[in-house]
Amino acid sequence: MEKLKCLIPDSLKRVVADSNPNDLPSTSSSLLDFLHNLPQFQQVRVLVVASCSLLMIRDLVDTQAALCGKNKEAALESKQKGNKCYTSGDYNAALAHYSQALWVAPTDAVDTDKNLVASLYLNRASLFYKIGLLKECLRECNRALQISPTYAKAWYRRGKANAALRSYKDAVNDLNIAKNLELSLGGKRQIESEIKIIEDSYEDTSRTVAEHKDNYLGNFEESQQKKLVCVSTPDKGMGMISQSKIPEATLVHREEPYAMIILKSCRETHCHYCLNELPADAIPCTSCTIPLYCSEHCRLRAGGEEFCSYQKEDKNLGGLSLNLEEYIAEVTVCHGSGADAECFLEHKHECRGVNWPAVLPPDVVLTGRVLVKSISQKRDSADLSLLSSLKLSHNYSQITAESKLELHIFAVVLLLCLQQSFRLELPINGDSLSQTILLLCKMRINCMAIVRMKTVDAHGLPNWLGKSSSIEDALTSSVEQVPVAQAIYSAGSLFNHSCKPNIHAYFLSRTLVIRTTEPVAAGHPLELSYGAQVGQWDCKDRLKFLEDKYSFRCQCRGCSEWNLPDLVLNAFHCVSLNCAGVVLDADVINCEMHKFKDFAGAPTTQNVDHPLLGDELNDVDILNFAKLALERGNNSLDFHPGHCLSCGSHCNLEASSQAMNKAWICIKKLQDEMILKEISNLTLSNASRAVDVLRSILHPYSRRIAEAEDILAQAFCLVGDLQSARDHCKASIKILERLYGRDHIVIAYELVKLSTIELTLDDHASVDCINRLNAIFLRYFGSHAASIFPYLEDLKRRARNLV
């Protein structure tokens, strides 16, 4: 990208920098004309730097080079390595090699007498059988048989797996087919004796032939009850409101993405369609080496091909009973299809071994998906606008000159890639480029990050090699939301942001689900958090985050009215003995003064969200003192940096900041040792003293103290001092409750840690703790709580045992 930018003359750069949405047809066609006149461009050899590598458009779209295509030699090499590891008992490495081989193996390749892909599935099946993963083994046999229905070894392995799974009837059927296909007399006899043992000794208990688990759709028994409408708002553009009064915890919206793309960091760990974590028997795309899927179902829905090669008249299967023939047809049929006519096959147009979908940034590839989908939908409609089905806003006029140039270049590159690798029926001219530039721009501000709960993976899913997560992990891992994909939702992307949201969005695989977190009056806006919340950062940090990431200045109630967390989160302690007043630095004061001037957001006791907890500090007093200080005059010392808002005492902020930074170094050192799992007593006691120092310098509701307490809690867990861990965890929660409110989801995540510690200590307080966190989870996730966070059920079971 940088090289290409350098080739563009300054005059053209200036035109692009000054452009607005109306000029785009002309600026983009000027860029196109310039590129057409570049000798490199005429040969379709435009230099593009993406992902730090120098590539040419030709390389991006060349199906002959097929940089992301299949490669039989590489597959055979990996297969051999896998066999070696298998023989030496290194099953982990063997699985990695077999999976790598499958990833690159051409689907139509023939390896002497057996299809290479089928044999690789069988190798993985044997490996899974060996390590006791019988269901995975069965699935792999089915895959091998769908490709090669006369594969005797696959029927044999399937029979063994079914016998181990106590599906004896199926096992006998499988082994009978294997016997029929087996060429050697000795082999036939051996299988016959195995069949006899099963027939004589066992009774059938289960059946697994047609197993297909639709594991991407969540549990949707709950019906969506409330009607929402999109309206125009005075300060935030379009936004969603409710037509009627809605109680808290109500499911108000659910939606499949218009288009979605997995993040680069998750390409090898999560299914490219449903976004669930990949199982040990993950399967690749049939035509390229980019996506991996958890099942055939997902592969087909994303645009992959089915293998179904069973023909009834297959000669090798002659002489079988009618029952067995039906059985073969049943086993080898593809159960995965679910791709109906309306389903857009989002990967299909990218899937020819070309590497632009892997190399270009995900938001550019996502824009390609949106374009192709819109064009395929437009074929049946008379609407001339390219993106009639997506009503999204953009912020082209507000973005930097640099970003404008980047969008121009990416638009040209994307259309060229689509045209050359997919034969897109779209002329590349000023009009199409201008729409693509705006679409890219819309993607950047309207995309939602699909997140998954990290601990779902740590605690909720079985670990395929049998390693269970340790108690240490359970005690110390935070419940984190990990972004896995970017998606655009036609209605979901219209919800505006609030730093004090009244709805909560989460994802079941790729489905967006939205639920109210407080009662909402009819006609009131429904707003979610784009990542910044009151209690998490103070107002200036939230404004900066939203401006940097989404290029808008937040107008929400959290940023226009005074609230307690914004005053105390980064505040210092008053120097006077027994005064619990708030001391602010210049940045916070400036931001709070702005609220007052711009929005008349003077503090009122109504702004105190959290009821008094009856301890030493009074939230209403803090706000009232701030209000009084403000009213006594903007220029008085009362509302000046370093002066206590309650008693006016002066604090040397510079000295306090230095002392705070020094204390924080000890906490950081502890964190470093925690990562290495080598915590020395000295570091731990220094960090404990550092927390005391922080308590003496910072306001008791300071977020820094909460963080330090949390780190200490984790460190004490790691060294096995659970009593101390519990005390620090409680101290951290106490502060967070004042910043977020007692029923916020952040508190539930902290209660997960506290209850795990309490359960380990056989402390009966854990029962109340778990009841509380269960209530919060139900409020935020309703009936989906257990599937989003399976560890919850584990905690509840352990609490029941304790009682």
Binding residues for ligand SAM (CB under 6 A): 235-239, 392-393, 395, 445-446, 493-494, 496-498, 550, 552, 554-556
CA dihedral 271, 274, 280, 282 (to 10 degrees): -60
Least spacing, CB of residue 437 vs ligand SAM, in Å: 17
- Give the integer Cα–Cα distance in Å for 369 and 350: 9
Question: What is d(CA 564, CA 571) in angstroms, rounded to the nearest whole number?
Answer: 11
What does the DSSP assignment read for 780-798? HHGGGHHHH-THHHHHHHH
Q: Residue 459: which of 791, 799, 788 has the closest Cα?
A: 791
> Cβ closer to ligand SAM: 531 or 790?
531
User: How far apart are alpha carbons 732 and 186 in whole angstroms?
Assistant: 70
Q: How far is the CB of 203 from ligand SAM (least distance, A)?
A: 59
Nearer to ligand SAM, 547 or 615 (CB): 547
The residue among 69 and 501 lying less far from ligand SAM, judged by its C-beta, is: 501
Across 155-280, the runs of DSSP E, i.e. the strands, are: 228-233, 237-242, 251-255, 259-262
Question: Closest CB to ligand SAM among 555 and 618?
Answer: 555
Least CB distance to ligand SAM at residue 504 (A): 16
730 CB burial (10 A radius; 0-12, 13-18, 19+)? middle
Q: 285: closest CA among 504, 69, 576, 593?
A: 69
CB of 581 to ligand SAM, least distance (A): 31
**Residue (239 or 648) nearer to ligand SAM, CB:** 239
What pairing do the DSSP bridges indicate for beta strands 496-497 and 527-528? parallel
**Closer CB to ligand SAM, 196 or 549, in the complex:** 549
Q: Burial of 308 by CB count in 10 Å (0-12 exposed, 13-18 middle, 19+ buried)?
A: middle
Count CB-CB contacts under 10 A for residue 318: 9
Complex with ligand SAM: residue 356 or 552, whichever CB lies closer:
552
Q: What is the DSSP letter of 769?
A: H
Q: How far is the CB of 239 from ligand SAM (least distance, A)?
A: 5
Least spacing, CB of residue 547 vs ligand SAM, in Å: 10
Shortest distance (Å) from residue 446 CB to ligand SAM: 4
Closest CB to ligand SAM among 250 and 498? 498
CA distances from 194 to 176, 178, 188, 199, 202 (A): 10, 11, 10, 9, 12
Whole-angstrom distance, CA of residue 264 vs CA of residue 266: 5
Closest residue to ligand SAM, based on beta-carbon distance: 237
Q: Shortest distance, CB of residue 308 to ligand SAM, whole angstroms? A: 42
Of 297 and 444, nearer to ligand SAM (C-beta) is 444
For 192-287, strand residue ranges (E) read: 228-233, 237-242, 251-255, 259-262, 283-284
Tell me the one-letter amino acid at 5: K
Pick between residue 418 and residue 503 the one whose CB is nearest to ligand SAM. Answer: 503
Residue 398 Cβ vs ligand SAM, minimum distance, rounded to whole Å: 9
Alpha-carbon separation of residue 414 from 61, 69, 202, 470 (angstroms): 10, 20, 61, 46
Both structure tokens of 295: 């099942």
> What is the nearest approach in angstroms of ligand SAM to the Cβ of residue 674?
37
SS (H, E, C) 301-366: HHCCCCCCCCCCCCHHHCCCCHHHHHHHHHHHCCCCCCCCCCCCCCCHHHCCCCCHHHHCCHHHHH
Helix axes 362-378, 401-422, angle to 10 degrees: 60
CA-closest candidate to residue 128, choices 93, 91, 82: 91
- Name the CA radius of gyration of the chain, rounded: 31
Task: Report d(CA 38, CA 45) in Å as an integer.
Answer: 9
CA 730 to CA 728: how far, in whole Å?
Answer: 5
Of 302 and 499, the one with the shorter C-beta distance to ligand SAM is 499
Closer of 79 and 542 to ligand SAM (Cβ)? 542
| CA proximity to 226, closest of 25, 523, 14 | 523
Question: What is the closest distance, in whole angstroms, from the C-beta atom of residue 558 to ligand SAM in the complex?
Answer: 9
CB–CB of 445/394 below 8 Å?
yes
Query: What tokens were used for 736?
Result: 């967070």
The C-alpha atoms of residue 628 and residue 638 are separated, in whole angstroms, by 9
Q: With respect to ligand SAM, which residue has the nearer C-beta, 392 or 748?
A: 392
> Residue 802 corresponds to which tokens in the numbers above?
């304790």
**Nearer Cβ to ligand SAM (540/640):** 540
CB of 389 to ligand SAM, least distance (A): 15
Burial 182-193 (b: 16+ CB within 10 A, else e): beeeeeeeebee
**What ranges make up the beta strands (E) of 545-616?**
572-573, 582-583
Query: How many CB atoms are closer than 10 A to CB 728?
Result: 23
**Which CB sits closer to ligand SAM, 132 or 237?**
237
CB 139 to ligand SAM: min, Å: 40
Residue 59 C-beta: closest distance to ligand SAM, Å:
35
Nearest approach in angstroms of CB 521 to ligand SAM is: 19
| Residue 518 C-beta: closest distance to ligand SAM, Å | 17
Q: Which is nearer to ligand SAM, 413 or 556 (CB)?
A: 556
| Cβ nearer to ligand SAM, comparing 239 with 741 | 239
Residue 152 CB contacts under 8 Å (≥ 6 apart), including other chains: 178, 181, 182, 183
Of 303, 352, 272, 283, which is closest to residue 67 (Cα–Cα)? 352
Output the smallest distance, CB 753 to ligand SAM, in A: 31
Distance in Å, CB of 397 to ligand SAM, minimum: 11
* 3-state secondary structure at position 453: strand
The residue among 494 and 733 lying less far from ligand SAM, judged by its C-beta, is: 494
